[in-house]
Amino acid sequence: MQDPNCLVCANLLVYQWNGELANDWRQTHLVNFHIADPSDISSILPAWSKVCIIAISVKSLLQMRSLCLNSGGQNISEMGMAVLDVKARGVLELLLASVKPDASFTWYYTNLFTRWLPSTGQTIILAFDMQPPIQGRCLRALMNPDPSLLSDPFWAHPYLMEQIARAQEPSVWGIRDHVRALETEKKPEGRPQPDYRRLHDIARHAIHVNETLDATMQSLEYLMIEHEYYKNLTPENATSASEDIHRRLRFFQSFIANLRSRSISNEKRLQNEIQLAFNTVAQHDSSITLEIGRATQLDSATMKTIAFVTLTFLPPTFICAIFSMSFFNYGPDTGWNMSSNFWIYWVFAIPTTVITTVLWTYWGDIRDMVFSRKE
Protein backbone atom coordinates (compact mmCIF):
# COMPACT_ATOMS: atom_id res chain seq x y z
CA MET A 1 0.00 0.00 0.00
CA GLN A 2 1.28 3.45 -0.90
CA ASP A 3 0.35 6.40 1.31
CA PRO A 4 1.77 9.82 0.37
CA ASN A 5 0.91 11.18 3.86
CA CYS A 6 2.56 8.37 5.82
CA LEU A 7 5.36 9.44 8.15
CA VAL A 8 6.60 5.89 8.83
CA CYS A 9 6.95 4.63 5.29
CA ALA A 10 9.67 3.25 3.07
CA ASN A 11 10.79 3.39 -0.52
CA LEU A 12 11.13 -0.17 -1.80
CA LEU A 13 12.61 -1.65 -4.94
CA VAL A 14 10.96 -5.07 -5.28
CA TYR A 15 12.00 -7.89 -7.62
CA GLN A 16 9.57 -10.81 -7.96
CA TRP A 17 9.99 -14.15 -9.72
CA ASN A 18 7.51 -16.94 -10.32
CA GLY A 19 10.17 -19.68 -10.19
CA GLU A 20 9.75 -20.79 -13.80
CA LEU A 21 11.34 -18.66 -16.53
CA ALA A 22 14.86 -17.60 -15.63
CA ASN A 23 14.55 -14.03 -16.91
CA ASP A 24 10.94 -13.47 -15.93
CA TRP A 25 11.61 -11.05 -13.09
CA ARG A 26 9.19 -8.25 -12.35
CA GLN A 27 10.55 -5.02 -10.94
CA THR A 28 8.36 -2.67 -8.90
CA HIS A 29 9.35 0.62 -7.29
CA LEU A 30 7.14 1.43 -4.30
CA VAL A 31 7.28 4.97 -2.89
CA ASN A 32 6.08 5.79 0.67
CA PHE A 33 5.12 2.17 1.18
CA HIS A 34 3.73 0.87 4.48
CA ILE A 35 1.90 -2.24 5.68
CA ALA A 36 -1.44 -1.60 7.31
CA ASP A 37 -1.79 -5.21 8.49
CA PRO A 38 1.55 -6.92 9.37
CA SER A 39 -0.05 -10.35 8.90
CA ASP A 40 -0.90 -9.53 5.28
CA ILE A 41 2.11 -8.99 3.01
CA SER A 42 0.42 -10.02 -0.20
CA SER A 43 1.00 -6.53 -1.60
CA ILE A 44 4.72 -7.26 -1.99
CA LEU A 45 4.69 -11.06 -1.83
CA PRO A 46 1.81 -12.36 -3.94
CA ALA A 47 1.05 -16.06 -4.03
CA TRP A 48 2.52 -16.53 -7.50
CA SER A 49 5.96 -15.14 -6.47
CA LYS A 50 8.42 -17.84 -5.40
CA VAL A 51 11.25 -15.39 -4.75
CA CYS A 52 10.94 -11.78 -3.62
CA ILE A 53 14.02 -9.55 -3.38
CA ILE A 54 13.47 -6.23 -1.61
CA ALA A 55 16.03 -3.41 -1.71
CA ILE A 56 15.53 -1.27 1.38
CA SER A 57 17.49 1.01 3.71
CA VAL A 58 18.38 0.09 7.30
CA LYS A 59 16.16 2.84 8.65
CA SER A 60 13.22 1.57 6.63
CA LEU A 61 14.05 -1.99 7.66
CA LEU A 62 13.77 -1.12 11.35
CA GLN A 63 10.47 0.60 10.68
CA MET A 64 9.16 -2.43 8.80
CA ARG A 65 10.74 -5.19 10.89
CA SER A 66 7.27 -6.69 11.33
CA LEU A 67 7.64 -7.92 7.77
CA CYS A 68 10.12 -10.59 8.91
CA LEU A 69 9.03 -11.05 12.52
CA ASN A 70 5.31 -11.53 11.93
CA SER A 71 5.06 -13.20 8.52
CA GLY A 72 3.07 -16.38 9.03
CA GLY A 73 2.97 -15.85 12.79
CA GLN A 74 5.82 -18.31 13.46
CA ASN A 75 9.07 -18.07 15.34
CA ILE A 76 12.14 -17.11 13.27
CA SER A 77 14.15 -20.21 14.13
CA GLU A 78 11.24 -22.45 13.23
CA MET A 79 10.95 -20.79 9.83
CA GLY A 80 14.47 -21.78 8.85
CA MET A 81 15.77 -18.22 8.91
CA ALA A 82 19.35 -17.71 7.67
CA VAL A 83 21.29 -14.50 8.06
CA LEU A 84 24.17 -12.79 6.28
CA ASP A 85 25.32 -9.54 7.92
CA VAL A 86 22.25 -7.71 9.11
CA LYS A 87 22.60 -4.63 11.31
CA ALA A 88 19.90 -5.53 13.80
CA ARG A 89 19.57 -7.20 17.16
CA GLY A 90 21.23 -10.58 17.59
CA VAL A 91 22.41 -10.86 13.99
CA LEU A 92 25.85 -11.62 12.60
CA GLU A 93 27.88 -8.92 10.89
CA LEU A 94 30.02 -9.57 7.85
CA LEU A 95 32.12 -6.89 6.13
CA LEU A 96 34.34 -6.80 3.09
CA ALA A 97 37.50 -4.68 2.77
CA SER A 98 38.69 -3.79 -0.72
CA VAL A 99 42.40 -2.88 -0.74
CA LYS A 100 43.61 -0.53 -3.47
CA PRO A 101 47.08 -0.18 -5.06
CA ASP A 102 47.76 3.04 -3.13
CA ALA A 103 47.26 1.14 0.17
CA SER A 104 43.87 2.74 0.80
CA PHE A 105 40.79 0.61 1.25
CA THR A 106 37.00 0.70 1.08
CA TRP A 107 34.53 -1.08 3.33
CA TYR A 108 31.60 -2.90 1.74
CA TYR A 109 28.65 -4.25 3.71
CA THR A 110 26.99 -7.43 2.49
CA ASN A 111 23.66 -6.51 4.05
CA LEU A 112 21.44 -9.45 3.14
CA PHE A 113 18.67 -11.12 5.08
CA THR A 114 16.90 -14.26 3.86
CA ARG A 115 13.59 -15.68 5.06
CA TRP A 116 11.95 -18.88 3.81
CA LEU A 117 8.22 -19.53 4.32
CA PRO A 118 7.72 -23.32 4.65
CA SER A 119 3.97 -23.14 4.21
CA THR A 120 4.25 -21.66 0.71
CA GLY A 121 7.87 -22.41 -0.21
CA GLN A 122 8.44 -18.72 -0.87
CA THR A 123 11.69 -16.89 -0.18
CA ILE A 124 12.01 -13.27 0.97
CA ILE A 125 15.39 -11.60 0.61
CA LEU A 126 16.10 -8.18 2.06
CA ALA A 127 19.04 -6.29 0.56
CA PHE A 128 19.59 -3.04 2.40
CA ASP A 129 22.20 -0.29 2.25
CA MET A 130 24.31 -2.36 -0.12
CA GLN A 131 26.94 -0.56 -2.16
CA PRO A 132 28.04 -1.18 -5.70
CA PRO A 133 29.62 -3.35 -6.96
CA ILE A 134 28.64 -5.82 -4.20
CA GLN A 135 24.95 -5.04 -4.61
CA GLY A 136 24.91 -5.74 -8.33
CA ARG A 137 26.94 -8.93 -8.02
CA CYS A 138 24.77 -10.38 -5.25
CA LEU A 139 21.50 -9.43 -6.92
CA ARG A 140 22.58 -10.88 -10.27
CA ALA A 141 23.55 -14.13 -8.55
CA LEU A 142 20.24 -14.34 -6.68
CA MET A 143 18.23 -13.55 -9.81
CA ASN A 144 19.65 -16.53 -11.70
CA PRO A 145 19.01 -19.49 -9.36
CA ASP A 146 18.52 -23.17 -10.13
CA PRO A 147 14.74 -23.83 -9.78
CA SER A 148 15.45 -27.34 -8.45
CA LEU A 149 17.09 -25.85 -5.34
CA LEU A 150 14.22 -23.59 -4.27
CA SER A 151 12.72 -26.30 -2.04
CA ASP A 152 15.63 -25.87 0.41
CA PRO A 153 15.48 -22.83 2.77
CA PHE A 154 19.21 -22.29 2.29
CA TRP A 155 19.22 -22.25 -1.50
CA ALA A 156 20.31 -18.59 -1.69
CA HIS A 157 23.40 -18.92 0.48
CA PRO A 158 25.71 -20.78 -1.92
CA TYR A 159 25.10 -18.01 -4.46
CA LEU A 160 25.74 -15.34 -1.85
CA MET A 161 28.85 -17.03 -0.48
CA GLU A 162 30.25 -17.35 -4.00
CA GLN A 163 30.02 -13.59 -4.48
CA ILE A 164 31.41 -12.91 -1.01
CA ALA A 165 34.35 -15.24 -1.68
CA ARG A 166 35.00 -13.56 -5.02
CA ALA A 167 34.95 -10.17 -3.30
CA GLN A 168 37.31 -11.37 -0.55
CA GLU A 169 39.89 -12.89 -2.87
CA PRO A 170 41.15 -9.64 -4.50
CA SER A 171 41.62 -8.09 -1.06
CA VAL A 172 43.85 -10.96 0.05
CA TRP A 173 45.91 -10.83 -3.11
CA GLY A 174 46.00 -7.04 -2.94
CA ILE A 175 47.73 -7.27 0.45
CA ARG A 176 50.02 -9.91 -1.01
CA ASP A 177 51.03 -7.53 -3.85
CA HIS A 178 51.93 -4.82 -1.33
CA VAL A 179 53.96 -7.28 0.74
CA ARG A 180 55.73 -8.62 -2.34
CA ALA A 181 56.62 -5.07 -3.42
CA LEU A 182 58.19 -4.48 -0.01
CA GLU A 183 60.13 -7.75 -0.19
CA THR A 184 61.59 -6.99 -3.63
CA GLU A 185 62.38 -3.34 -2.85
CA LYS A 186 66.08 -2.56 -3.33
CA LYS A 187 68.12 -1.44 -0.36
CA PRO A 188 68.80 2.32 -0.67
CA GLU A 189 72.25 3.83 -0.46
CA GLY A 190 73.12 5.49 2.83
CA ARG A 191 70.78 5.58 5.77
CA PRO A 192 67.55 3.57 5.20
CA GLN A 193 64.38 5.66 5.14
CA PRO A 194 61.44 3.23 5.59
CA ASP A 195 57.94 4.62 5.08
CA TYR A 196 56.62 3.55 8.47
CA ARG A 197 53.24 5.21 7.86
CA ARG A 198 52.70 3.14 4.74
CA LEU A 199 53.86 -0.03 6.50
CA HIS A 200 51.42 0.70 9.30
CA ASP A 201 48.55 1.24 6.85
CA ILE A 202 49.24 -2.02 5.01
CA ALA A 203 49.48 -3.89 8.32
CA ARG A 204 46.17 -2.35 9.43
CA HIS A 205 44.49 -3.42 6.19
CA ALA A 206 45.93 -6.93 6.57
CA ILE A 207 44.37 -7.12 10.04
CA HIS A 208 41.03 -5.92 8.61
CA VAL A 209 41.14 -8.57 5.89
CA ASN A 210 41.84 -11.24 8.50
CA GLU A 211 38.93 -9.93 10.52
CA THR A 212 36.49 -10.13 7.61
CA LEU A 213 37.69 -13.63 6.72
CA ASP A 214 37.21 -14.73 10.32
CA ALA A 215 33.68 -13.32 10.30
CA THR A 216 32.97 -15.10 7.01
CA MET A 217 34.26 -18.38 8.42
CA GLN A 218 32.08 -18.02 11.50
CA SER A 219 29.04 -17.24 9.35
CA LEU A 220 29.73 -20.25 7.16
CA GLU A 221 30.15 -22.54 10.17
CA TYR A 222 26.86 -21.23 11.54
CA LEU A 223 25.13 -21.85 8.21
CA MET A 224 26.60 -25.35 7.93
CA ILE A 225 25.37 -26.26 11.42
CA GLU A 226 21.90 -24.87 10.77
CA HIS A 227 21.65 -26.56 7.39
CA GLU A 228 22.80 -29.88 8.85
CA TYR A 229 20.13 -29.50 11.52
CA TYR A 230 17.52 -28.78 8.85
CA LYS A 231 18.50 -31.86 6.82
CA ASN A 232 18.30 -34.14 9.86
CA LEU A 233 15.05 -32.62 11.11
CA THR A 234 12.86 -34.84 8.90
CA PRO A 235 13.66 -37.45 6.23
CA GLU A 236 11.85 -35.31 3.63
CA ASN A 237 14.44 -32.57 4.08
CA ALA A 238 17.38 -34.78 3.07
CA THR A 239 16.90 -34.27 -0.66
CA SER A 240 19.43 -34.23 -3.46
CA ALA A 241 19.00 -30.44 -3.62
CA SER A 242 19.92 -30.15 0.06
CA GLU A 243 22.97 -32.34 -0.44
CA ASP A 244 24.04 -30.22 -3.39
CA ILE A 245 23.64 -27.03 -1.33
CA HIS A 246 25.59 -28.55 1.55
CA ARG A 247 28.44 -29.56 -0.76
CA ARG A 248 28.56 -26.04 -2.19
CA LEU A 249 28.68 -24.54 1.30
CA ARG A 250 31.51 -26.93 2.22
CA PHE A 251 33.40 -25.91 -0.91
CA PHE A 252 33.17 -22.22 -0.05
CA GLN A 253 34.09 -23.01 3.54
CA SER A 254 37.28 -24.63 2.26
CA PHE A 255 37.85 -21.75 -0.17
CA ILE A 256 37.52 -19.11 2.56
CA ALA A 257 39.77 -21.20 4.83
CA ASN A 258 42.45 -21.21 2.11
CA LEU A 259 42.10 -17.44 1.72
CA ARG A 260 42.41 -17.15 5.48
CA SER A 261 45.67 -19.15 5.41
CA ARG A 262 47.04 -16.90 2.67
CA SER A 263 45.95 -13.80 4.61
CA ILE A 264 47.70 -15.04 7.75
CA SER A 265 50.83 -15.65 5.68
CA ASN A 266 50.57 -12.10 4.29
CA GLU A 267 50.34 -10.64 7.77
CA LYS A 268 53.34 -12.65 9.01
CA ARG A 269 55.42 -11.68 5.97
CA LEU A 270 54.43 -8.06 6.50
CA GLN A 271 55.45 -8.19 10.15
CA ASN A 272 58.75 -9.68 9.02
CA GLU A 273 59.29 -6.75 6.64
CA ILE A 274 58.42 -4.25 9.36
CA GLN A 275 60.86 -5.91 11.74
CA LEU A 276 63.49 -5.93 8.99
CA ALA A 277 62.96 -2.19 8.45
CA PHE A 278 63.46 -1.51 12.16
CA ASN A 279 66.53 -3.76 12.31
CA THR A 280 68.05 -2.19 9.18
CA VAL A 281 67.74 1.31 10.61
CA ALA A 282 69.07 0.13 13.98
CA GLN A 283 72.00 -1.63 12.28
CA HIS A 284 72.87 1.51 10.30
CA ASP A 285 72.66 3.66 13.43
CA SER A 286 74.80 1.13 15.31
CA SER A 287 77.47 1.32 12.58
CA ILE A 288 77.50 5.11 12.90
CA THR A 289 77.80 4.78 16.68
CA LEU A 290 80.71 2.37 16.18
CA GLU A 291 82.46 4.87 13.90
CA ILE A 292 81.95 7.59 16.50
CA GLY A 293 83.46 5.27 19.13
CA ARG A 294 86.49 4.62 16.93
CA ALA A 295 86.95 8.36 16.37
CA THR A 296 86.74 8.87 20.13
CA GLN A 297 89.42 6.25 20.65
CA LEU A 298 91.68 8.06 18.20
CA ASP A 299 91.05 11.32 20.00
CA SER A 300 91.83 9.60 23.31
CA ALA A 301 95.12 8.28 21.96
CA THR A 302 96.04 11.77 20.77
CA MET A 303 95.24 13.23 24.18
CA LYS A 304 97.40 10.58 25.82
CA THR A 305 100.32 11.63 23.62
CA ILE A 306 99.79 15.27 24.46
CA ALA A 307 99.59 14.45 28.17
CA PHE A 308 102.80 12.41 27.99
CA VAL A 309 104.68 15.22 26.25
CA THR A 310 103.33 17.70 28.77
CA LEU A 311 104.43 15.58 31.73
CA THR A 312 107.84 15.08 30.12
CA PHE A 313 108.53 18.79 29.87
CA LEU A 314 106.75 19.83 33.05
CA PRO A 315 109.68 19.30 35.50
CA PRO A 316 112.22 21.19 33.36
CA THR A 317 109.63 23.92 32.86
CA PHE A 318 109.17 24.17 36.62
CA ILE A 319 112.94 24.39 37.16
CA CYS A 320 113.27 27.07 34.49
CA ALA A 321 110.47 29.05 36.13
CA ILE A 322 112.22 28.83 39.51
CA PHE A 323 115.57 29.96 38.24
CA SER A 324 114.11 32.69 36.10
CA MET A 325 112.67 34.46 39.16
CA SER A 326 114.36 37.55 40.56
CA PHE A 327 115.32 35.64 43.67
CA PHE A 328 118.28 34.23 41.70
CA ASN A 329 121.02 36.27 40.08
CA TYR A 330 124.04 35.22 38.04
CA GLY A 331 126.98 37.37 37.08
CA PRO A 332 130.33 36.58 35.48
CA ASP A 333 132.17 38.18 38.37
CA THR A 334 129.93 37.27 41.27
CA GLY A 335 128.60 33.93 40.05
CA TRP A 336 125.28 32.61 41.45
CA ASN A 337 123.59 34.67 44.12
CA MET A 338 120.24 33.88 45.82
CA SER A 339 118.12 36.44 47.59
CA SER A 340 117.60 36.07 51.29
CA ASN A 341 113.82 36.58 50.75
CA PHE A 342 113.36 33.38 48.71
CA TRP A 343 111.28 32.00 51.58
CA ILE A 344 108.46 34.38 50.55
CA TYR A 345 107.85 32.27 47.46
CA TRP A 346 107.29 29.15 49.54
CA VAL A 347 105.08 30.98 52.00
CA PHE A 348 102.60 31.73 49.21
CA ALA A 349 103.15 28.69 46.97
CA ILE A 350 102.69 25.90 49.53
CA PRO A 351 99.42 27.13 51.17
CA THR A 352 97.95 27.96 47.76
CA THR A 353 98.74 24.47 46.51
CA VAL A 354 97.26 22.85 49.64
CA ILE A 355 94.09 24.95 49.47
CA THR A 356 93.63 24.19 45.77
CA THR A 357 94.11 20.45 46.35
CA VAL A 358 91.63 20.38 49.24
CA LEU A 359 89.01 22.35 47.31
CA TRP A 360 89.36 20.03 44.31
CA THR A 361 89.07 16.94 46.51
CA TYR A 362 86.08 18.02 48.55
CA TRP A 363 84.35 20.35 46.11
CA GLY A 364 81.47 17.95 45.51
CA ASP A 365 80.66 17.66 49.21
CA ILE A 366 81.01 21.41 49.71
CA ARG A 367 78.63 22.11 46.81
CA ASP A 368 76.03 19.66 48.16
CA MET A 369 76.21 21.27 51.60
CA VAL A 370 75.77 24.76 50.19
CA PHE A 371 72.77 23.86 47.99
CA SER A 372 71.12 21.77 50.73
CA ARG A 373 71.17 24.75 53.10
CA LYS A 374 69.57 26.98 50.45
CA GLU A 375 66.74 24.48 49.97
**278 and 340 share a domain?**
no
Looking at the structure, tell me whether residues 253 and 343 fall in a common domain.
no
Burial 125-139 (b: 16+ CB within 10 A, else e): bbbbebeeebbebbb
Which range of residues forms the domain containing residue 340?
Answer: 321-375
**How far, rounded to the nearest angstrom, does the alpha carbon of residue 158 sit from its chain's CA centroid?**
29
Q: For each of the chain's 375 residues, which pLDDT tens digit applies?
A: 544 444 445 678 888 988 877 778 888 887 776 655 555 566 677 888 889 888 877 666 565 554 444 444 333 333 333 333 333 322 334 566 666 666 677 777 777 888 888 888 888 888 877 778 888 888 888 888 888 888 899 999 999 999 989 988 988 999 999 999 999 988 777 778 888 888 998 999 899 899 989 989 998 998 899 999 999 988 888 899 999 999 999 999 999 999 999 999 999 999 999 999 889 888 888 888 888 888 888 888 888 889 888 889 888 888 888 878 887 777 777 777 788 888 888 888 889 989 999 888 888 887 888 777 766
- The verdict on residue 268 lying in a domain is yes
Which of 263, 285, 307 is the endpoint of a domain? 285
For residue 172, what pLDDT is reported?
A: 92
- Is the CB of residue 108 less than 8 Å from the CB of residue 121? no
Integer angstrom CA distances of residue 79 from 54, 64, 117, 127, 128: 19, 18, 6, 19, 21
pLDDT at site 10: 67
Residue 56 burial (C-beta neighbours within 10 Å; 0-12, 13-18, 19+): buried
Asked, for residue 294, whether it belongs to a domain, the answer is no
Q: 104 with 23, same domain?
A: yes
Domain count, the chain: 2
Q: How far apart are CA 219 and CA 215, in angstroms?
A: 6
Q: Is residue 81 part of a domain?
A: yes
Q: What is the pLDDT of residue 80?
A: 31
Residue 175 lies in a domain: yes
- Indicate yes or no: pTM above 0.75: no
Residue 190 Ramachandran class (φ > 0 left, ψ -120 to 50 alpha, else beta): left
Q: Which of 193, 147, 172 is nearest to 23 (CA)?
A: 147
* Rounded-to-integer distance, Cα 161 and Cα 231, Å: 20
Taking alpha carbons only, the member of 109, 150, 125, 117 closest to residue 52 is 125
Question: Could you tell me if 141 and 250 lie in one domain?
Answer: yes
Residues 345 and 252 in one domain: no
Residue 296 located in a structural domain: no
pLDDT score recorded for residue 112: 81
Q: Is there a single domain that holds both residue 221 and residue 359?
A: no
Q: Are residues 149 and 250 in the same domain?
A: yes
Which helix (H) or strand (E) segment holds residue 246: the answer is helix 240-323
User: Are 273 and 353 contained in the same domain?
Assistant: no
